[in-house]
Structure 1
């Protein structure tokens, strides 16, 4: 089984001024003359971590990672102003121009797969390869499965903790109810809602319980950006037409691609990955039979590293 490459530090980093109130943190790692790749993290509302640098051979790749608007080291923290899918697609293009490459490999998992598909479908000429895992189409049925009813049947005790901040009379629209609390002027109301929302995801993305995830997603500071931005995107359907990313997958047909999916992924069930594969049959499809959602699942990590290695010299 393949594992992460050794730890590395960035050789360059900075902040991209978007011109509309955001400063987006970016970093470059690996070989300054290597194959360019952009890593798109999940959420929306999460951030990059040192482990994400290690998904690529540092001797062969020039790795650009960035914290999306409002996330991680980007400022203002947890901001939902001027923060949409298409703002992020434009940021990716600015970063590509900043480092001076015509094309790059695009890699995204979970929400990162959504963003990768949106970017590659809008700018297919800029993607030398496209690797996506834990496929999230941001369709209404996918959102309702995870945040209204569906996944709740598999994790009933965790679901009760997710429901706790919301009065019974508001539970017919849980995303809307959370929205009201996540933008409430009272920081205590925001924090209670953010932790409950964030922990629901953090404790359901792995096949087996993971204490490190519980600690990370339960941290109030992390949870605030994660929940506010994620909920902001979801109540607006990601500023996408229903089914748009699957519908427009034909635009990807000339891009070498790989789709990696965990069989027991509860956050982004395998149906979406399969439907993407049918719409983009030119891509290689890998179903990992003993995995949930997270990239840290051993089988998913193995196939991710094998895939990035396979594209390293192309």
Structure 2
């Protein structure tokens, strides 16, 4: 269903403000349709999986690691690291690579950043494919750190147990402080966060669990993510939903799994209500995982159609 993994044909190290150096990969066809693929998190970093939804024979695929994420340096840094910085960085990447306009593909936080970027630089966007859109509203952020019942009750209890009982009402600030503390504390909290997120994303706890260098990477990831979430991703003035009025009239598809427990489908429904030219598809049975067969098929078929 997905395209075969392909190695990048070119790798860039782009210096931007605040001492950050962005790791950017180009793969696919050098003369193909330009498409930038935005990873989630914030802080997760790109991966070969994210470009496998695009036909490498048709697309020139640009995969940037955002500030503090993936192989960008310094990893885990929250200095000069805000949404406005990331939006500006995308323009830096586009111009450095000599791209006039490009298709923007993003999932979860990647869809958030795609919306913020397209609203600010609408002339540079040829289309938007947005999966599991996250609006970074107070209710979107708080919902992730609130108790769950039913099938996720036990997983929630284990996650919340990392904090003293009197601090579980403010779990995000507690986690943010701990991720900036000593290494052992940071690793313990990062692993707890990873377990909770993994369970919500797929319904089961993924194996194997990260350890060693992989766990240290998760510490950096969640340090960046908590930094963003504590500040509502700097997207409340104006709210991201209100910025949709500035979006370009280009092919736009919102995909959202009906069973997504991390980013609720209501967010994509709300965005669709602001985009008369956009299309919304709720993917029955899919959760947050982009590799769910129905979600993967929807993404591949859409991108194939846009490239034909």
Q: When the two structures are superposed, what TM-score results if normalisation uses the length of structure 1?
A: 0.93
Q: Is the 8 A contact 1:133 1:260 kept in 2?
A: yes
Matched position secondary structure for 1:171? helix
Cα distance in 2 for partners of 1:217, 1:82 equals 29
Question: Out of 163, 166, 169, which is 1:172 matched to?
Answer: 169
Q: Which residue of 1 aligns with 2:143?
A: 145
1:193 to 189, 192, 198: 189
Deviates more, 1:118-127 or 1:241-250: 241-250
| CA distance in 2: counterparts of 1:67 and 1:278, whole angstroms | 31
- SS for the counterpart of 1:25 is strand
C-alpha distance in 1 between matches for 2:178 and 2:268: 32
Q: Could you say if the C-alpha distance between residues 166 and 196 of structure 1 is closer, same or farther in structure 2, counting changes exceeding 3 Å? A: same
In 1, the alpha carbon distance for the partners of 2:305 and 2:210 equals 32
Q: Which residue of 2 aligns with 1:124?
A: 122
CA distance in 2, matches of 1:99, 1:12: 11
What SS class does the counterpart of residue 52 from structure 1 fall into? helix
Evaluate the alpha carbon distance shift between residue 134 and residue 280 of structure 1 in structure 2; reply closer, same or farther with a 3 A threshold.
Answer: same
Q: Is 1:45–1:230's contact at 8 Å kept on the other side of the alignment?
A: yes
Unmatched runs of 5 consecutive residues or more in structure 1: none
1:98–1:217 distance in 2 versus 1, CA, 3 Å: farther
The answer (yes or no) to whether the contact 2:23–2:65 under 8 Å persists in 1 is yes
Matching residue of 1:40? 38
Cα pair 2:198 2:206 within 8 Å, conserved? no
Matches within 5 A, 1:1-314: 3-149=1-147, 151=148, 154-184=151-181, 186-206=182-202, 208-209=203-204, 211-212=206-207, 215=209, 219-241=214-236, 244-313=239-308
Gaps of at least 5 residues in structure 2 are none
Q: Check whether the contact 1:253–1:282 (CA below 8 A) recurs between aligned residues.
A: no
* 1:265 counterpart SS class: coil
**Partner Cα separation in structure 1 for residue 248 and residue 211 of structure 2:** 37
- The 2-side partners of 1:295 and 1:242 are apart by 30
Q: Secondary structure at the match of 2:26?
A: strand
- Does the aligned pair in 2 maintain the 1:139–1:243 contact within 8 Å? no
- Computed over aligned residues only, the root mean square deviation of the Cα atoms, in angstroms, reads 1.7
TM-score (norm 2): 0.95
Q: 1:156 to 1:299 in 2, by over 3 A?
A: same
Residue-by-residue CA offset, 1:200-254 (whole Å, 9 max, x unaligned): 1122112x42634x63599412311221111110001101116711112122251
* SS of residue in 1 equivalent to 2:70: coil
Asked if the contact 1:129/1:257 (under 8 Å) is kept, the reply is: yes
Cα deviation, residue 187, structure 1? 1.2
